[in-house]
Chain A
Amino acid sequence: MWNYTKAVHDHFLHPHNVGPLKDANAVGEVGSLTCGDALKLYLKINDKNIIEDAGFETFGCASAIASSSVLTDMVKGMSVDDALKLTNKDIANALGGLPKQKMHCSVMGQEALEAAIRQWKGEPPVPHAHEEGKLVCKCFGITDAQIIRAIRENNLKTVEEITNYTKAGGACGSCLDEISEILAAEIKQKPLKELKPLPRITNIQRMQLVLKTIDEDIRPRLAADGGDIELVDVEGKRVVVALKGRCAQCRVSDVTIHDLVERLLREHVEPGIVVEEA
């Protein structure tokens, strides 16, 4: 069960400003039935550019309804310019916070507000709508511009947070790599996979490292059980060894090879190493 604040419960159970405004001169619509939430925001803006009245219709969960309700309260009496400065964080804060998986509900409120004001100004629909910016998440129709905005306004640090705030990547997950790249570019860091390049070593270095690991780490452990090991061959990442002494007759020599020799070589030399018995 979600841990909603009292404000979320109150706004959900007794939402303010429900329903279309008859004399609205600005309407913003975001979301869809497919996505699982949708908000239609109605504003009445007077000739002094003040939002006189607001109303909403929302399809969605409790936090979506509460976000819409609190948003209409917030914008009433506000100038258009001030309203445009509102962020999704302001909406979430007005509710005393939202569970992190529900932050996208506050983003939806901010986007509907912006859409309504742009319609009133006679501007084309939201700048970060699908026409502008590149479509990243096909399941929920989220563009890179929307993702970047969520990252900047909420100081997001992980892909998971981006999904919580925008829903991007939350369904099939095929765009998660792309989201990761956008995030990396935003926080001025290279993507993780470039940060940690796989160590590249030459054959000679590999052989030396294998020998060193066998001498220093593996042989002493086998010796404790009366066994010994001999390196037979190193061929690329394939390491061939022979077990000696007690290990040679041991019924669990397979386990020794894999759980001990291979594990230690992977740890000390290279991850891809495969060990075989001669």
Chain B
Amino acid sequence: MKTIYLDNNATTAIAPEVREAMLPYLGDLYGNPSSMHTFGGQISEAVENAREQLASLLGADPDEIIFTACGSESDNTAVWSALQTQPEKRRLVTTRVEHPAILNVMQHWERQGYHVTYLGVDNKGRLNLDEYAQALTPDTALVSIMFANNETGNIHPIQRMAEMAKEKGVLFHTDAVQAVGKASIDLKKMPVDMLSLSGHKLHTPKGIGAMYVRRGVRFRPLIRGGHQERGRRAGTENVPYIVGLGVAAQLAAAHFEEELFNVAKLRNALEQGIVKNIPDSIINGDVDNRLPNTTNISFKNVEGEAILLMLDRLGICASSGSACSSGSLEPSHVLRAMGVPFNYAHGSIRLSLSRYTTQEEVDFTVQHFPEVINTLRMISPFKE
């Protein structure tokens, strides 16, 4: 059975070019970039080259990039640094639809006595800029708002929100883990102070992330120790993965147009094909303003985990915001924040594509989706 991978917001395939570029650093080129000898020095060049490649994708300068282990580390560091450098400020602003990598960090600081404002969203998952403006108080240490939502693909108005924060003198961080390579990001124009990203959403292996810290923004490291990353993130560099992330960034820039047009075209065909053939199915999120690769569809009166297992039998990999699939007992916090009714929220499926997704895979999925939903609806006691 062929695997049809439609779960690229969870993780992505490793690009062959990335793997190739990494291999020498898993072989003979094992030196430590901090060493004084040439053998180590050449490794340092590879790391700096990767830093330039990633900076160029974001419109940043290389010295504004810090390599980390993952998106979560970048998120933790951003909040930590903002609080440490501004001990007099006691407020944080975020949204109800963030990834747990931010939500749980915010809750942690809340327990330490900080006040956190969680901005709500409307039924399409959109933030209210008036509510946001009100939250920008003088004692706000940091605003952290995701660039794009991992479940719905919604893109938040980061340019405008970062400008508003800047006017009020409030630091602005964005978790751009889902957005890098899929949404237009130019940090030369966007007054974002800090940004988090993750390699494995961008076709590197798992275990590498990065953060952008605008030059001039005061910074305190979360991980202390050696002088790596100019003293901003201790720990011997994860050289092969850093090299891989550099190449992945270069590929993302090269494929950006393709992502915007071809991937979006496939996504639209998939989404329309499913919704057209299945009654009582709705698309969640802001369809006019979202990532080109993501769709989130709810099916009335069926449960998401059951849908996933039936798709799995067909080789189709997807994910669900249903309670049962996550091990929690409540459906996705994102869909609940949007006010999606329970009989739809439990039956939500996220399909996320990549530049490796093919028309054949989309056609196969569209063809088999109705039988999955119909089978489960036949078993369900709730019928319309």
Binding site for B on A (CB under 8 A): 2, 9, 12-13, 15, 18-19, 29, 33-34, 36-40, 57-65, 101-102, 139-140, 163, 167, 170-171
Establish whether residues B346 and A36, one from each chain, have CB atoms under 8 Å apart when the complex forms: yes
Binding site for A on B (CB under 8 A): 301-306, 309-310, 313, 322-325, 327-331, 342-343, 346, 378-382
Establish whether residues B303 and A13, one from each chain, have CB atoms under 8 Å apart when the complex forms: no
Contacts A170-B330, A171-B330; is A59 near B381 (CB within 8 Å)? yes
Main secondary structure, interface of A, reads mixed
A-B residue pairs, 6 tightest by C-beta: A170-B329, A61-B324, A57-B381, A61-B305, A40-B381, A59-B380
- For A139, what are the chain B residues with a Cβ–Cβ distance below 8 Å? 330
Kindly state the separation between the CA atoms of A140 and B310 in the bound complex, as whole angstroms. 27
- For B324, what are the chain A residues with a Cβ–Cβ distance below 8 Å? 36-37, 60-61, 63-64, 102
Closest beta carbon of chain B to A111's beta carbon, Å: 15
Establish whether residues A61 and B329, one from each chain, have CB atoms under 8 Å apart when the complex forms: no
- For A9, what are the chain B residues with a Cβ–Cβ distance below 8 Å? 309
Kindly state the separation between the CA atoms of A38 and B306 in the bound complex, as whole angstroms. 13
- For B343, what are the chain A residues with a Cβ–Cβ distance below 8 Å? 33
* Residue among A12, A38, A61, A170 having the largest count of chain B Cβ atoms under 10 Å: A61
Contacts A33-B301, A57-B379, A62-B309; is A101 near B322 (CB within 8 Å)? no
Establish whether residues A163 and B381, one from each chain, have CB atoms under 8 Å apart when the complex forms: no
Kindly state the separation between the CA atoms of A61 and B324 in the bound complex, as whole angstroms. 6
Contacts A170-B328, A171-B330; is A36 near B378 (CB within 8 Å)? no
Establish whether residues B306 and A18, one from each chain, have CB atoms under 8 Å apart when the complex forms: no
- For B310, what are the chain A residues with a Cβ–Cβ distance below 8 Å? 13
Contacts A12-B306, A60-B324, A62-B305; is A38 near B330 (CB within 8 Å)? no
Establish whether residues B313 and A13, one from each chain, have CB atoms under 8 Å apart when the complex forms: yes
Question: Which residue from chain B places its CB closest to the CB of A20 in the assembled complex?
Answer: B381
Establish whether residues A58 and B330, one from each chain, have CB atoms under 8 Å apart when the complex forms: no
Kindly state the separation between the CA atoms of A198 and B303 in the bound complex, as whole angstroms. 47
Contacts A33-B346, A167-B329, A170-B329; is A62 near B306 (CB within 8 Å)? yes
Kindly state the separation between the CA atoms of A37 and B376 in the bound complex, as whole angstroms. 13
Establish whether residues B346 and A39, one from each chain, have CB atoms under 8 Å apart when the complex forms: no
- For A29, what are the chain B residues with a Cβ–Cβ distance below 8 Å? 381
5 example contacts (A-B, Cβ-Cβ < 8 A) are as follows: A13-B310, A33-B382, A36-B324, A59-B301, A140-B329
